[in-house]
Amino acid sequence: MHCAVLWVATPAKAQSLDEQAAAILMGNERLNAVILVLLIIFAALIVFLILQERKIKNLEKKILKSYE
Q: What is the pLDDT of residues 6-18, one digit of tens each?
A: 445 555 566 687 7
Range(s) of the domain holding residue 8: 2-67
Task: Indicate the residue type of 66.
Answer: S
Strand, coil or helix: what is 30? coil
Query: Which helix (DSSP H) or strand (DSSP E) does residue 5 occupy?
Result: helix 2-27
Quote the pLDDT of residue 20. 80
Instruction: Say if residue 68's pLDDT is above 90.
Output: no
- Interatomic CA distance for residues 54 and 28, integer angstroms: 42
**How many domains does the chain contain in total?**
1
The C-alpha angle 19, 31, 11, rounded to 5 degrees, equals 20
φ/ψ (deg, to 5) at 23: -65, -40
pLDDT > 70: what percent of the chain?
72
Interval 58-68 mean pLDDT: 92
